[in-house]
Structure 1
Amino acid sequence: MDVRRAQEIASSPVMANVTYNGQRIYIEHVDQQKGVATIHPLDNPSQKQSVPVASLEEHS
């Protein structure tokens, strides 16, 4: 995924189907300069982590 699309998803009120390492996640924040996103698994909001935006996959 590219940084621009990750930012669009993070800003959207509509929940997108995005995964990180096969796990469905929620994008909390995107740092466009660093190319990283703060995410958490949908089933565990307390498990926040920063990951490269390129490692996120959007599914339709």
Structure 2
Amino acid sequence: MNAQRAAEIFSSKDTIEVELEGQPVWIENVDEANGMATVQIGAKPTNTKTVSVERLKEH
């Protein structure tokens, strides 16, 4: 996925399924300038990771 699409998903009112290496994630923040996104992995709010948006897959 590219940074623009990640930002669109983050801003969307709809629930759009996104995965990181097969695990469902929620996009918490997108840094379009650097192509990075902070995602929440699973249901635990403290389980976050900052990754390249290229690693995210829209389901």
Give, in whole Å, the separation in 1 of the partners of 2:33 and 2:39.
Answer: 17
Task: Name structure 1 gaps, 5 residues minimum.
Answer: none
Identity %: 39
Which ranges of 4 or more aligned residues in structure 1 deviate by more than 6 Å?
Answer: none
Q: Structure 1 length as normaliser, TM-score?
A: 0.91
**Aligned-partner SS, 1:40:** strand
Instruction: Number of aligned residue pairs: give it.
Output: 59
Distance 1:20 1:9, change over 3 A: same
| Aligned-residue RMSD, C-alpha | 0.8
Residue aligning to 1:58: 58
TM-score, with structure 2 as normaliser:
0.93
